[in-house]
Copies of this chain bind each other. A is one copy, B any other.
Amino acid sequence: MNFPSKLIEQAVTEFSRLPGIGEKTALRLVLHLMKQPKEKVEDLGHALIDMRNNIRFCKDCYNIAEEELCQVCLSHSRNKEQVCVVESIREVIAIENTGVYMGLYHVLGGLISPVDGIGPEQLQIASLINRIQQKGIKEVIMAVNPNMEGDTTIFYISKKLKELPVTITSIARGVAFGGELEYTDDLTLARSLTQRLPYENFLINR
């Protein structure tokens, strides 16, 4: 595509580097920004730059932090004996939004995936094991996506933790609340039958 101005072209190019944003969408965004007051565009630009320049990762759990440790690790009201293992910060945000989890986290930064060339040494697994050994952690909750990579990662971590006095659990899998049995895939439905629990555990209003 040719653009009527180098400035527009540059902005479109930069936008279309973002995942899921093609050239046409980028142009639409740029034309939208052109109609906004200058201050609004400066707010956007500076918010991105500030975020990137000032954000850090917690030295214990690799969650997003503004200081050396993240808000979760710094909090006195969290259970320091529980660690929830997640793939990325996205899952931390999702779990935090439920408001029911009061333990700590450990962000792996990905999942083991031989196909993509991602091995355990590229992830924060050594630091997890280290942390469990040294900080008196009693329960590790695996909260990774239910797929090949997730299973491989759980398997690898559980093997490494075998000798340690720590319980390993996984978040429950089954038919989602609000989901319909009829449209649930076979695997989920079959597993939710074999993993059944006393009904009181799964009432919506408990």
| Chain A 82-103 interface residues, beta-carbon cutoff 8 Å to B | 88-90, 92-93, 96-97
Assembled-state Cα–Cα distance A19/B29 (Å): 7
Contact residues in B for A129 (Cβ distance below 8 Å)? none
Among B34, B46, B65, B72, the residue within 8 A (CB) of A51 is B34
Assembled-state Cα–Cα distance A19/B34 (Å): 13
Is A20 within 8 A of B28, CB to CB? yes
User: Whose C-beta in chain B lies nearest to the C-beta of A44?
Assistant: B14
A63 interface contact, C-beta 8 A: yes
> Which residues does A use to contact B, with CB under 8 Å?
1-8, 10-11, 13-15, 17-21, 25, 27-34, 36, 38, 40-55, 63-66, 70-72, 88-90, 92-93, 96-97
Assembled-state Cα–Cα distance A40/B65 (Å): 21
User: Whose C-beta in chain B lies nearest to the C-beta of A90?
Assistant: B31
Q: With A7-B55, A31-B90 as given contacts, are A14 and B48 in contact (CB-CB < 8 Å)?
A: yes
Among B2, B25, B53, B93, the residue within 8 A (CB) of A93 is B2
Assembled-state Cα–Cα distance A14/B18 (Å): 15
Q: With A8-B64, A44-B17 as given contacts, are A52 and B34 in contact (CB-CB < 8 Å)?
A: yes
Assembled-state Cα–Cα distance A2/B52 (Å): 19
A5 to chain B, nearest CB (A): 5
Is A51 within 8 A of B4, CB to CB? no
Pull 9 A–B residue pairs with CB atoms less than 8 Å apart, ordered by A. Answer: A2-B93, A5-B55, A7-B50, A10-B50, A11-B51, A20-B25, A38-B53, A41-B48, A42-B49
Assembled-state Cα–Cα distance A90/B65 (Å): 41
